Amino acid sequence: MPDSIDAPDAADFIGMATVRSIVEAELRGDAFPVADPEVAAAELLPNWKDQSTISLGLIATVDGRVVGRGTLAMPGDASECWSAVSVLPDYRSAGIGSALYERLERMARDAGRRTIQNQTDFPASQGGDSIPAPTGFGSVPARLASTRFLLRYGFTLEQVGRMSGLTLPMDADVAASSLDAAQAAATGYRTVTWEGPTPDEWVDAFALMRTRMTTDTPNAGMEQTEDVWTTDRIRAFDAIWAESPMSMLTTIAVETATGRPAGYTELGVPAEPDRPAEQMDTLVLADHRGHRLGMLLKLTNLRELSARFPDSRIVETMNAEDNRPMLDVNEAIGFVPLSYAARWKKRIG
């Protein structure tokens, strides 16, 4: 892994990021333009520098060109890991994807991991036979190359997610009335928004909420070991993301009586305005649910997005199909389905 994308040894990492970006845009459809290679790499690099997760990467080259990539993310103190494999369209059906995946699985076994997991994307318009998710929500087309590939290697489908998109700017009257209604329902709470690093007064509470994010969201049959965040980790995370061309916009809901945060939401805003802003985490702590805080958080952050980044044209968000409460919020705001994701699991130890 290079220290920066300007480093002399960064070419392979940039090539890996380029393959990821091209294949992601292909699978998700026209709403996801391909990022500039160096921008894509710069946006990925902070995740690879996060010391709480061991990240390993493989590339496949043909005549010096990176045409395939394989990645393995192994969270600390966990039995599970996440793999990903991508091959450029012109180089498929040549065994490259298989070679990458088989090496990744060996690496996971050697590291003592017992479960390997994977997420594959596919466009919204698909026909033919499908495999239903065991949650009872959503399905994945059986004819997809990714479906056939993972079934061949012994993976089982555990959950289906939905990628939704919201076109900006929102209708001003609709946005204002929806925000007013959410604020009226969230009596006893206020919102605080910031761009960039976490303010000192919220670091402790934010560490707790990030930890709860790993256990309080629907994971169906996917394995998710509690990912503990500390104040030091929050600071390290902020420092890493300060190097990224992507801006982070965060809104929290605070209980007025206690001064304690009750939930948060984040938007990752790319440097290229024609690419979607990414709705990242959204969480309302269990003790504070039932006050429309999810709606309040998202609408407040979207308002701030339009004010601070007026050139943004679309926001994307991924939710499990069985996470109806959050999908209800998104649909009420105006998000529509863009693409879907299948989440897979395989026992390897």
What does the pLDDT look like over 112-158, one tens digit per residue? 999 999 999 998 766 789 999 999 999 999 999 999 999 999 999 99
Q: Is the pLDDT of residue 336 over 60?
A: yes
The confidence score (pLDDT) of residue 34 equals 74
The confidence score (pLDDT) of residue 38 equals 87
The confidence score (pLDDT) of residue 73 equals 96
Percentage with pLDDT > 70 across the chain: 98
Average confidence (pLDDT) over 104-115:
97
Average confidence (pLDDT) over 282-290:
93
Q: Is the pLDDT of residue 231 over 90?
A: yes
Q: Is the pLDDT of residue 244 over 80?
A: yes
Instruction: State pLDDT tens for residues 27-78.
Output: 876 656 677 888 889 989 988 988 888 999 999 999 999 999 999 999 988 9
Average confidence (pLDDT) over 292-309:
95
The confidence score (pLDDT) of residue 29 equals 66
The confidence score (pLDDT) of residue 30 equals 61
The CATH H-level superfamily of 11-161 is: Gcn5-related N-acetyltransferase (GNAT) (3.40.630.30)
User: Can you tell me the distance from the alpha carbon of 32 to that of 29, in angstroms, rounded to the nearest whole number?
Assistant: 6
The confidence score (pLDDT) of residue 47 equals 86
Domain boundaries, the chain: 11-161, 169-312
Report the chain's mean pLDDT, rounded to a whole number. Answer: 92
The structure tokens listed for 67 are 């045409």
The confidence score (pLDDT) of residue 76 equals 86
- Which of 119, 162, 122 shows the shortest CA–CA distance to 321? 162
| pTM to 2 decimal places | 0.90
The confidence score (pLDDT) of residue 222 equals 93
| CATH topology assigned to domain 169-312 | Aminopeptidase (3.40.630)
Please check whether the two domains, 11-161 and 169-312, share a CATH topology.
Answer: yes
